[in-house]
């Protein structure tokens, strides 16, 4: 018969605290969604909409919006890191990790479909596909965030659906309304209610 292992109360307390912390992180919501970053993303989308509406070719229109996508990604990423630092909340651990992993599949699908649409010259479908899949990404990522985030995603999905069935001549209006105005409106709500 083996002698009973003695565990110090300190070691037991540390293990209990670790368990509690990990459980809370798994159950918590990701609150580093950037409100003011969303506003900046919306402003840059409005500017891109204005610029791209004056471009002489669909290829240049596409490149303008592709550049906007990378700019928005940089703005959103930077703002998320800043908000996470301010809240002392790790971005890629617990709810933040789940948020990112849930966001990525629809974003990757959007990138693949963008290449296909470009290859076949289906520029008129791009705004609807981009808005719809961005909305899907935000809804799935928002499952691990505050409740306004999935609502924002559904709004993008509705805008994308309208763009898919709307006149191709309205492409920039849908892009401005979705990536511009929706980001600004929801960004302000997130910033005011959830700390920046």
pLDDT digits (tens, 9 = 90+) for 124-164: 999 999 999 999 999 998 887 788 989 999 999 999 999 99
CA distance linking residue 81 with residue 32, whole number of Å: 8
Q: Tell me what pLDDT residue 32 has.
A: 64
3-state secondary structure of 31: coil
| Mean pLDDT within 15-21 | 63
Q: Tell me what pLDDT residue 25 has.
A: 45
Q: Kindly give the residue spans of alpha helices, DSSP state H, lying in the chain.
A: 9-27, 35-52, 58-86, 95-119, 126-142, 148-165, 171-175, 183-193
Q: Are 136 and 106 in contact (CB under 8 A)?
A: yes
- Choice between 95 and 111, residue whose per-residue pLDDT is larger: 111
Longest dimension (CA), the chain: 86
Q: Tell me what pLDDT residue 84 has.
A: 75
pLDDT digits (tens, 9 = 90+) for 20-72: 555 444 445 556 678 899 999 999 999 999 999 999 999 999 999 999 999 99
pLDDT digits (tens, 9 = 90+) for 69-92: 999 999 988 888 887 777 776 666
The mean pLDDT value of the chain amounts to 86
Parse the chain into domains and list their residue ranges. Answer: 9-193
Q: Is the dihedral of CA 125, 130, 116, 51 positive or negative?
A: positive
| Mean pLDDT within 120-126 | 96
Burial class of 55 by CB neighbour count within 10 A (0 to 12, 13 to 18, 19+): middle
CA distance linking residue 74 with residue 138, whole number of Å: 16
Burial class of 137 by CB neighbour count within 10 A (0 to 12, 13 to 18, 19+): buried
């Amino acid at each position: 018969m083996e002698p009973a292992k003695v565990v110090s109360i300190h070691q037991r307390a540390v293990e209990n605290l670790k368990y509690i912390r990990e459980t809370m992180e798994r159950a918590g919501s990701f609150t580093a969604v950037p409100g003011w970053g969303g506003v900046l993303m919306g402003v840059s989308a409005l500017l891109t909409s204005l610029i791209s509406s004056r471009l002489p070719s669909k290829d240049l229109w596409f490149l303008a919006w592709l550049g906007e996508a990378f700019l928005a990604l940089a703005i959103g990423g930077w703002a998320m890191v800043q908000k996470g630092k301010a809240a002392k909340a790790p971005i890629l651990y617990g709810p933040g990790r789940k948020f990112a992993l849930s966001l990525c599949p629809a974003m990757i699908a959007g990138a693949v479909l963008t290449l296909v649409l470009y290859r076949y010259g289906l520029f008129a479908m791009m705004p609807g596909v981009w808005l719809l899949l961005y909305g899907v990404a935000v809804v799935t990522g928002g499952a691990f965030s505050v409740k306004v985030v999935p609502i924002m995603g559904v709004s993008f999905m509705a805008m994308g659906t309208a763009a898919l069935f709307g006149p191709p001549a309205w492409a920039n209006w849908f892009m401005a309304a979705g990536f511009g105005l929706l980001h600004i409106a929801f960004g302000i709500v997130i910033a005011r209610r959830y700390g920046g």
